[in-house]
């Protein structure tokens, strides 16, 4: 399922999930939770529609550097039966967060390179500077240092923070994880994840740079902390994720969803070592990130293999263009967004259907806002670890060798002593990719 198909299905899933008690009643205006959407692209509007389905929420502001995206968001507001006149429009989220003292929640749906800057700023905004609660899209951050800074801000300000890895709210994912953790598969010694986008070789194309962005676009704000570049349509909006400056490629873009389930089910936080190899072999466009990548993650008791194919894929994964697999001594569990199946060592199979995920994820966020002692289904630290699997794969690919990862210090090394259980020889070349200094005029907010 590609992103457009996912948005179509989640948009059509009205009524697929029972509303919680707090959302099944009309909510008085004084009880409503005021939110703003930062970034009104595909997932921004999908989240806007989901939030507007819940009477507990009231949208007071939307923010985007592209007026065309704002117009589409306002259309969604009208279709939801809400009054667009009550919603203030902003171009710069920093201005919005500084001005609006009536907000309770920020819904952050910008490209990845803005996530840390928007989230940390939001954590210190809102009513009396107590901070906004956060619903933020994945991948968590553009790099590992930014992700850790986001965690620190959320912790310090005691914010409720849900990250948009919505699979964690799908009942069939919860059931599958519980099955793995039950021990019924025996010793799970091998895990697999894969994503095959099946993009045509033309990809994002080869358009030339342009002297000016399209009308209604503040391109300088869109770049934000990223390096200054001439405007190019292939680097903008949807395709930004194929460039190192903004999104880091398909590996973390989907890996945060896929590898998160492996970490969750196997009760681990990080690999000891990562080795990625591949390159850009099929895509004939101006994208920068690899279209073909094979990643090996080494854990103390199992190995995890992650396959990334942006180009065309024929066979190998059957009808599943994405998925997760747990291979144990007694059987194998295979899982994707449509359901899961257990294949026992004697050949018997058990089939289990899928479940709604996105709207349920927003409902879970609301439940946590109303019951603040309850942890969200996708807590920020767990998604930090999942996002890091993609970052580490990219780092290994870019330095051209295996790296060892000290998850406690969040530093890369060139070796590991299994007897002394210590990492040896800090890898300065790999560690240079842990953070990207922002462009002049931008600074990662202090936590």
Query: What does DSSP say about strands 273-279 and 403-406: parallel, antiparallel, or unpaired?
Result: antiparallel
d(CA 83, CA 96): 20
d(CA 171, CA 194): 21
Query: Which residues have C-beta within 8 Å of that of residue 330, sequence separation ≥ 6?
Result: 184, 185, 186, 344, 345
Work out the pLDDT band at 446, boundaries 50, 70, 90: confident
Distances (CA, A) of 398 to 1, 130, 149, 276, 404: 28, 40, 24, 9, 14
CATH architecture of the domain with range 168-202+245-356+385-431:
2-Layer Sandwich (3.30)
pLDDT at 1 over 50: no
Q: Which of 93-97, 250-254, 442-446 has the lowest mean pLDDT?
A: 442-446
Query: Which residues have C-beta within 8 Å of that of residue 326, sequence separation ≥ 6?
Result: 180, 185, 188, 190, 191, 262, 265, 266, 332, 333, 335
Written as one string, the DSSP assignment of 146-171 is HHHHHHHHHHHHT--EEES-GGGG-H
Work out the pLDDT band at 31, boundaries 50, 70, 90: confident
**Residue at token pair 């994707």:** 336
Work out the pLDDT band at 315, boundaries 50, 70, 90: low
- The CATH code for residues 3-167+359-377 is 3.40.50.720
Work out the pLDDT band at 258, boundaries 50, 70, 90: very high
CB 298, CB 184: distance < 8 Å: no
Percent of the chain at pLDDT exceeding 70: 92
User: Which ranges in the chain are annotated with CATH 3.40.50.720?
Assistant: 3-167+359-377
Q: In what order do the strands lie in the sheet with 331-336?
A: 349-353, 339-344, 331-336, 322-328, 188-196, 303-309, 292-298, 273-279, 403-406, 411-417, 422-426
**Residue at token pair 């880091």:** 248
Percent of the chain at pLDDT exceeding 90: 89
What's the mean pLDDT in 265-274? 98
Residue of 20 and 136 predicted with greater confidence = 136
**pLDDT tens, position by position, 355-365:** 999 999 999 99
pLDDT of residue 152: 98
User: Which ranges in the chain are annotated with CATH 3.30.360.10?
Assistant: 168-202+245-356+385-431
Residue of 30 and 404 predicted with greater confidence = 404
Rounded mean pLDDT of the chain? 93
SS3 134: strand
pLDDT of residue 447: 85
pLDDT of residue 30: 57
CB 59, CB 87: distance < 8 Å: yes
pLDDT at 435 over 70: yes
Is the peptide bond prior to 19 cis by the omega test (within 30 degrees of 0)? no
**pLDDT tens, position by position, 191-218:** 999 999 888 999 999 999 999 999 999 9
Work out the pLDDT band at 29, boundaries 50, 70, 90: low
């Amino acid at each position: 399922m590609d992103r457009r198909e996912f948005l179509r299905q989640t948009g059509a899933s009205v009524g697929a999930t029972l509303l919680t008690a707090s959302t099944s009643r009309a909510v008085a205006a004084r009880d409503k939770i005021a939110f703003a959407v930062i970034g009104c692209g595909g997932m921004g509007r999908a989240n806007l529609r989901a939030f507007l389905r819940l009477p507990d929420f009231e949208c007071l502001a939307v923010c985007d550097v592209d007026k065309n995206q704002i117009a589409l968001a306002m259309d969604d507001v009208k279709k939801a039966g809400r009054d667009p006149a009550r919603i203030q429009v902003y171009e710069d989220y920093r201005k919005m967060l500084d001005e609006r003292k009536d907000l309770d929640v920020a819904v952050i749906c910008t490209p990845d390179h803005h996530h840390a800057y928007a989230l940390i700023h939001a954590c210190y905004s809102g009513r009396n500077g107590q901070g906004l609660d956060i619903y933020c899209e994945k991948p968590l951050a553009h790099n590992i240092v930014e992700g850790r800074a986001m965690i620190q801000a959320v912790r310090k300000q005691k914010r409720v923070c849900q990250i948009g890895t919505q699979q964690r709210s799908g009942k069939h994912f919860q059931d599958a994880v519980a099955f793995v953790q039950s021990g019924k598969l025996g010793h799970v010694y091998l895990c697999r994840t894969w994503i095959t986008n099946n993009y045509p070789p033309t990809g994002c194309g080869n358009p030339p740079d342009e002297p000016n962005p399209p009308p209604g676009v503040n391109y300088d704000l869109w770049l934000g902390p990223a390096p200054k570049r001439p405007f190019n349509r292939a680097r903008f909006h949807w395709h930004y994720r194929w460039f190192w400056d903004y999104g880091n490629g398909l590996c973390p873009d989907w890996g945060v969803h896929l590898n998160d389930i492996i970490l969750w089910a196997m009760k681990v936080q990080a690999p000891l070592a990562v080795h990625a190899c591949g390159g850009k072999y099929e895509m004939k466009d101006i994208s920068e990130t690899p279209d073909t990548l094979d990643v090996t993650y080494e854990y103390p008791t199992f190995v995890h293999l992650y396959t990334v194919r942006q180009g065309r894929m024929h066979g190998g994964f059957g009808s599943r263009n994405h998925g997760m697999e747990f291979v144990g001594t007694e059987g194998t569990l295979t899982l994707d967004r449509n359901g899961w199946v257990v294949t026992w060592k004697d050949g018997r199979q058990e089939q289990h259907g899928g479940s709604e995920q996105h709207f349920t994820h927003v409902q879970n966020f609301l439940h946590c806002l109303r019951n603040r002692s309850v942890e969200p289904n996708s807590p920020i630290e767990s998604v930090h670890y999942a996002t890091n699997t993609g970052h580490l794969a990219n780092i290994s690919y870019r330095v051209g060798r295996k790296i060892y990862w000290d998850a406690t210090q969040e530093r890369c090394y060139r070796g590991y002593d299994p007897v002394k259980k210590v990492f040896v020889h800090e890898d300065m070349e790999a560690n240079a990719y842990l953070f990207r200094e922002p462009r002049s005029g931008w600074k990662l907010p202090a936590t």
